[in-house]
């Protein structure tokens, strides 16, 4: 197993597949009428097809993918589906398919928002069995002690309102927690006890933030 795989602590066997060296790479539903956008050969016998749509707008000059499926060639069932609001980079490293999921997070200069990889998923075959794992990207930028202090102070002065600034605070608490601050993690876990008016898209954003924290905690 290569070094990248050793970083990953969640191993999920998916399903066993036989030899499919000559199998076609037709797209599964809901893309049965489309040709595969890309095909990735992981072993001499196994390839994975990506069916869906390209995204060249999120990051200028970079070809990403959104609203797509991955499927093993020769099998008409999708491994999984990535929705329209998800943007990913898909690539291979040796015998491993890597899906990097982007999210707009406050990790730029002066904690400004920028698109960054937050999740890395890997797919590979062992003895004809497709395996999959997922972690929060080890390369996700961290906050300094001064930035964390600023976020904790912001938490104490943010009013209980259902607005963008509230979910921006949750995002900053997330990065503070991922930077190792236990107070920020506690604030985030109890966020809705203080911010009781969260609703609609802001609540959805907060739930997405908590899913990142949950995945991170599984491997820390």
Give the pLDDT score at 123: 98
Same domain, residue pair 88 and 152: no
Domain assignment of residue 81, given as a range: 3-136
Question: Looking at residues 191-217, what average pLDDT do you find?
Answer: 96
* Coil vs helix vs strand at 201: helix
Same domain, residue pair 8 and 106: yes
Domain boundary among 84, 110, 136: 136
Is the pLDDT reported for residue 14 higher than 50? Answer: no
Is the pLDDT reported for residue 7 higher than 80? Answer: no
Give the pLDDT score at 32: 87
Question: Looking at residues 16-24, what average pLDDT do you find?
Answer: 45
Q: Rounded to an integer, what distance in angstroms lies between the CA atom of residue 82 and that of residue 111? A: 28
Is the pLDDT reported for residue 162 higher than 80? Answer: yes
Taking every pair of Cα atoms in the chain, the longest distance, rounded to a whole number of angstroms, is 62
Number of domains in the chain: 2
Domain boundary among 108, 136, 164: 136
Above pLDDT 70, what percent of the chain? Answer: 90
Same domain, residue pair 24 and 113: yes
Does residue 37 contact residue 50 with C-beta atoms inside 8 Å? yes
Q: Rounded to an integer, what distance in angstroms lies between the CA atom of residue 193 and that of residue 77? A: 42
Domain boundary among 136, 157, 184: 136
Give the pLDDT score at 13: 44
Same domain, residue pair 88 and 185: no
Q: Answer whether the bond into residue 30 is a cis peptide, omega within 30°.
A: yes
Same domain, residue pair 39 and 130: yes
Q: Rounded to an integer, what distance in angstroms lies between the CA atom of residue 163 and that of residue 160? A: 9
Give the pLDDT score at 205: 95
Strand 114-126 versus strand 96-105 pairing type: antiparallel
Is the pLDDT reported for residue 213 higher than 50? Answer: yes
Of the given ranges (12-21, 86-95, 185-194), which has the lowest mean pLDDT? 12-21
Is the pLDDT reported for residue 5 higher than 70? Answer: no
Tell me the pLDDT band of 137, cut-offs 50, 70 and 90. Answer: very high
Q: Rounded to an integer, what distance in angstroms lies between the CA atom of residue 79 and that of residue 161? A: 40
Same domain, residue pair 82 and 173: no
Is the pLDDT reported for residue 72 higher than 70? Answer: yes
Tell me the pLDDT band of 61, cut-offs 50, 70 and 90. Answer: confident
Strand order in the sheet with 129-136: 12-16, 129-136, 114-126, 96-105, 80-93, 64-72, 47-55, 38-41
Tell me the pLDDT band of 30, cut-offs 50, 70 and 90. Answer: confident
Is the Cα torsion angle 81, 86, 87, 89 positive or negative in sign?
negative
Give the pLDDT score at 118: 97
Same domain, residue pair 74 and 168: no
Does residue 168 contact residue 143 with C-beta atoms inside 8 Å? no
Q: Which two structure tokens, joined as six digits, stand for 165?
A: 């600034």
């Amino acid at each position: 197993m290569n070094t990248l795989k050793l970083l990953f602590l969640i191993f999920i066997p998916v399903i066993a597949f036989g030899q499919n060296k000559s199998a076609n790479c037709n797209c599964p539903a809901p893309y049965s009428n489309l040709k595969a956008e890309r095909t990735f050969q992981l072993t001499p016998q196994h390839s994975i097809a990506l069916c869906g749509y390209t995204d060249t707008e999120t990051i200028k000059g970079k070809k990403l993918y959104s609203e797509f499926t991955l499927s093993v060639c020769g099998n008409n069932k999708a491994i999984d589906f990535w929705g329209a609001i998800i943007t990913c980079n898909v690539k291979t490293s040796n015998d491993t398919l890597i899906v990097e999921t982007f999210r707009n997070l406050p990790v730029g200069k002066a904690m400004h928002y920028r698109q960054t990889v937050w999740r890395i998923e890997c797919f590979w075959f062992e003895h004809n069995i497709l395996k999959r794992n997922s972690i929060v990207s080890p390369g996700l930028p961290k906050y300094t002690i001064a930035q964390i202090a600023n976020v904790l102070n912001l938490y104490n002065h943010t009013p209980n309102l259902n607005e963008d600034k509230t979910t921006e605070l949750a995002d900053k608490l997330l990065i503070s927690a991922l930077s190792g601050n236990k107070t920020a993690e506690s604030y985030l876990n109890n966020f809705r006890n203080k911010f009781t008016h969260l609703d609609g898209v802001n609540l959805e954003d907060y739930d997405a933030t908590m899913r990142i924290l949950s995945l991170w905690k599984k491997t820390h």
